Structure 1
C-alpha cells in the first residue's frame, strides 16, 4: 500500500531474508499521489535490492509493467543481496549458527534465514530443520544462545524491532515529498460513518436499504423465472403421457430446478450489495463501528468479519474465525455463527414474508429476521463468554483502507463467484430435496389415506331409512297418525333408557344394557310402555332396534 508504505515495508523486510529474487508492487499509488506522497524509486530499489513497480490494482494500471518486471527478475535469478543488520550481539550469534549449518551441509533453506528463525524460536522452522540430517547440534546451539543472551535482549521482540527500523529507514530515505493532505477524503467520511453515536444507526440503515433493494428489485426477475417454469411444466404435461415419468419431470425435476433458480436473482443482488460495500471500504468501518456492540457481549471486533461471511455461507465463516488469535474469542465466534442467516435461508425467509405479509413489507420482514438472528447471536455470545469462555477480550486493532469507488468488473466478479457457490452448495441440496419430497408423496401409489365420513354416514342413513320403511310396512303401519304414534313410543323408550342410565350412575351401579340384535326380545325395562301400547309396540321395538344400530 503506497499510501501507508512505512508499515507495509515490514513484509518486504521479512521477504528479503529468504534471499530470493523479488519484485515490489507499490499498489494504490493513485491514493498516495492524491495525498501528495512521492518516492525515489531508484533509491528504494538500491536499499531493498528489489525491482519496484507502481500499480493501481482496481483500474489495472501498471499490471503489464508488473508482469514484465516479474518475468525479467525471475529469469535473472538475482537475489536482492540486502541483509538487515540486527546489531553486533545478534549478528555474532547468527554467524555462529550459520557456520554450524554449513558444517551440517544438509539444510536447503537460506542459512541466515534459518539462523534468525531458530533464535526467534519459530516452531514451524525448528520442525523443518529437525527433518534434515546432522542438525541436532544446530538446534541445541540455538537453544544455548537463547539462554545465554536472554538477559541482554528480549528475543521475543528484538528481531521485529530491527525489521521495523529497516522499514522506517527505507521509507524516510526514499520519501521525496511528505503527505500534503493532513486530512484525507476518507478521514472526512469517517467523521460521519464511524461517529460514536451515528455510526451504528447508519450501519443499520445501510443494511435495511440493502435488504429492501434485494427484495424489491429481485422480485421482478424472480416473477419472470417462476412464470417461465410454470409454462414449462404446462408444456411438459402436454408432451409426456400421463404417468409417473410425467409426474417426476413436472413435479420433481422442473419444480425443484425452478425453486432453486427463482431465488437466484435475490442471492445475486444480496452478494452484489455486500461486494459493493466491501470494495468501497465501508465493511471495514462497519467492523470498527460494530466493535462496541461486540465488546459489550464479550466478543472481539474482528469477529464481525467471519460473522459477516456467515451471511453468505456458514462454512467459510467458521473457517474465517481463525483470524482471531484468542482461543476463547475464536470459539464464541464459531458457536454463534449459525445465528447469522446464510444465503441458503434467504429463499425460506422470502417465502414466509410473501405468504404472511403484504408485498410492501417483504424487505422489512426479511431484514427483521436477519436482525433477530443477530440479536440472538449477541445474547448467546454473552452467555457463552460469561459461563463457557470467561476472560478478558483482546483489544481491537484493524487497518481502515481508504474509501474508493469499486470497479464494476470487480464487483460483478465477486457477485458471480458467490452466486455460483450458492448454486453448487444450496442448489444441489434443494433440487435433491425436491425430488425426495416428490418420491415420498407419490409412493406407495393407490393408497387411500382419508375417507369422506359424512358421505359414508349419509349412505348408511339412507340404508336404515329404507329398512324403517320396510319395518313399518311389515307391521301394517301405513297412516301418518300410526307412524307418529310409533315414533312417540320409540322416543319414550329412549327416554326410559336414559333415565335408567342416569339413575345407575348416581347410585354407582352398572348401566343397563339393551340388546338390539335382530332376534332379541324387548327387556323388562320397557314392560310399562309395552302394556300401554300393545298393538304398536312390536313395530316400535323393531324401529328402536333399527335406530340403535344406526347410532
Structure 2
C-alpha cells in the first residue's frame, strides 16, 4: 500500500458494543452524515489523521449478523464486499464476547484484513472476566486490541494496529469448519466458480451463500458471465442434501459453535456470578408494574424539558426575526420586494430557525437517554402497548414529542431502524396535537362552549380524538400501505453508564446541522 494513499476502514459491530462512541472519539467533528444510495439507512463517514496517514472510517450499521434479512445487514455486508475497504475493524463487547463473536465469524468469511477491538474492557474487568489475547488472535487470525471507547483508552493502539494490518493486506486465513458433508459441497461449488472464472467476490463466501440460498448473493452471481452452471449446481446440491441437513439453520449453528469455541479457549477467568449494578436498576426500571409509570414520568420530564426550556430561546429568536422584519418594512419601499424580504425570506427562515432550540434539546434528551442505556429499556417497556396499535416500541418517543411540535417529532422518528415503522410513525405524527394548535383549540372551545368546564372537556376531547385517530390510521397504514411481517422486536439492554459530553455534543450538532440544511 502506497504511503500517501488514504486508508479506508469499515467499522463493524453489534448494536450497543460502543462502535459509534469509538467512531466519534477518532473522527470528532470531521464527519459526513447522509444516506446510502437508494435506501433509508444512514451512512456515516469520518476522517482522521494519525502518524501522517489519512484515515477514512465508515461506520457501518450495527448488526448482529450479515444475512439478507434486514436492510441494515444488507447494507453493512455490501459496503464490505462492494466498496472493498482496506481493513475491517470489528468492535466486540468484551463483557458479552460469545454473542459478539458470531458476527466476527461471518466477517472472517469475507477474507478481508481484520482488527478486533475488544471494547468495554473495563466492564469485563468489573465482572471478573479475563482473556488470552494471543490465543484469541490465533483462533480468529485477527489482531486483537483492548479498548474502552467511553474513556478513549486503547484508541492510539487501535489506530496503530489498523494502519499496520492495512499495510500488510493480510487476510485472517481462518475459516469456520462446517463439517465433512458441507465442506465437501462447498469445495465442489468453489471449483465450479473457479471454472467460471468471472466472479470477483471471495469464492468460498459465495459458495456458502449459494447453499444458504441468499437472494442477494444469487442476484449478484447472476450478474456475472458463465455462472448459469454454478447456480444450477448450487440448486442441485441443495436438493441433494436437504434431507440430511436443515439448510435454513445449519450454517448458523456451525458459526455459533465456532463463536463458543473461540470464547471458551480464549477465556482464562470466567465471570463472577454477581448481580451487576445494571441488574439492580432493571429490577425497578423494567418492572412489570412500575416500569410503565416510571417510563411515563421520564417521558413527561423530557417533554416538559424540550417545550419549557426550549421555549425561552425560541421566543428570543422569534423576537429577533420580528425586529428584523419590522426593520425591513421600514427601510424597503412598499411593494413586491418588501413582501419578498419581510414576509418571505425573514418570516419564512425565522419560522424554521425558531424551532432550532427544540431540535437541539430534543436530541440532547434522546442522546442522553440512549447513551445511559435507558432508551432500550423504554422501548422494551412500551412495546406491548405500541404493538397492539400496529407500531413499534420505539415509536412512542417521537409520537410523544409530537404534542410539543411535529417537526422534532418527525426528525425523532429516525431512531426507528425499520423503514415501515419509521414511515407509519411519521404519517400519524400530525394526529398528535402540537402546542401551536392549542391556542386555536382554546379560542374555538371558548367561543362555542362558554362554560369553563365544557371548553376544557372539548380541548381534552380533541387531544384524545387525535390519539384515537392516530391509532386507527396506524393500523390502516400497517395493513394496506406498509403491509408485511412486523419487524421482530429484538433489543439488547446495554449496561447503564454516564454518557460522554463529546458523544452528546456530536449527536446534537449532527441533527441540528441536518435540520438547518
Common fold: TM-score over 0.5: yes
Counterparts in 2 of 1:387 and 1:214: CA distance versus 1, 3 Å: closer
Partner of 1:494: none
Q: Hey, what's the Cα distance between the residues in 1 that align with 2:212 and 2:469? A: 43
Whether 1:135 aligns to 2:224 is no
C-alpha RMSD over aligned residues: 3.6
Return the TM-score normalized by structure 1.
Answer: 0.66
Structure 2 partner of 1:338: 427
Aligned to 1:348: 436
The answer as to 2:7 corresponding to 1:7 is: no
Measured at CA, do residues 75 and 216 of structure 1 come closer, stay the same or move farther in structure 2, by a change above 3 Å?
Answer: same
1:183 to 262, 266, 275: 275
Q: Per the alignment, in what secondary structure is the counterpart of residue 436 of structure 2?
A: helix
Contact 2:128–2:269 under 8 Å retained in 1: yes
Would you say the 8 A contact 2:190–2:204 is kept in 1? Answer: yes
CA contact (8 A) 2:391 2:474 kept: yes
Distance change in 2, residues 1:8/1:353 (3 Å): farther
Cα drift, residue 51 of structure 1: 0.7
**Partner Cα distance (1:19, 1:367) in 2:** 61
> Residue 356 of structure 2 is aligned with which of 264, 268, 285?
264
Tell me the equivalent position of 2:215.
123
Correspondences of 1:175-214 after superposition (within 5 Å): 175-180=267-272, 182-214=274-306
Partner of 2:112: 20
CA distance in 1, matches of 2:137, 2:393: 38
The structure with more helix, counted as a fraction of residues: 1
Tell whether the 8 Å contact from 1:211 to 1:367 is kept in structure 2 after alignment: no
Task: With the length of structure 2 as denominator, give the TM-score of the two structures.
Answer: 0.70
CA contact (8 A) 1:340 1:370 kept: no
> Which residue of 498, 507, 514 maps to 1:405?
498
2:309 aligned residue: 217
**5+ unaligned residues in a row in structure 1: which ranges?**
324-329, 358-365, 425-551
Give the 3 Å change call, closer, same or farther, for CA 129–236 of structure 1 in structure 2.
closer
Q: 1:409 to 1:238 in 2, by over 3 A?
A: same
Q: Counterpart in 2 of 1:322? A: 418
Distance in 1 between residues matched to 2:260 and 2:347, nearest whole Å: 63
Distance 1:145 1:104 in 2: 17
Give the secondary structure class of the aligned counterpart of 1:340.
helix
| Equivalent position of 2:171 in the other structure | 79
1:59 corresponds to: 151
Residues of 2 paired with 1:95 and 1:44: CA distance?
27
User: More strand per residue: 1 or 2?
Assistant: 2
CA distance in 2, matches of 1:251, 1:306: 31
1:25–1:354 distance in 2 versus 1, CA, 3 Å:
farther
Contact 1:298 1:382 in 2 (8 A): yes
Match of 2:125 in 1: 33
Q: Which has the larger radius of gyration?
A: 1
Once residues 142 and 339 of structure 2 are traced to their aligned partners in structure 1, the CA distance between those partners, rounded to angstroms, is 67
2:244 counterpart of 1:152: yes
2:395–2:413 Cα contact (<8 Å) kept:
no
Deviation at 1:169, TM superposition (A): 0.5
Using a 3 Å threshold, how does the CA distance of structure 1 residues 352 and 408 change in structure 2: closer, same or farther? farther
C-alpha change, 1:28 and 1:116, in structure 2 (3 Å) is same
After superposition, the Cα gap between the structure-2 partners of 1:83 and 1:395, relative to the gap in structure 1 and judged at 3 Å, is: closer
Shift of 1:232: 2.8
CA contact (8 A) 2:303 2:400 kept: no
Count of residues in correspondence between the two structures:
409
Q: Tell me what 1:171 maps to.
A: 263
Please give the secondary structure, in 2, of the residue aligned with 1:203.
helix
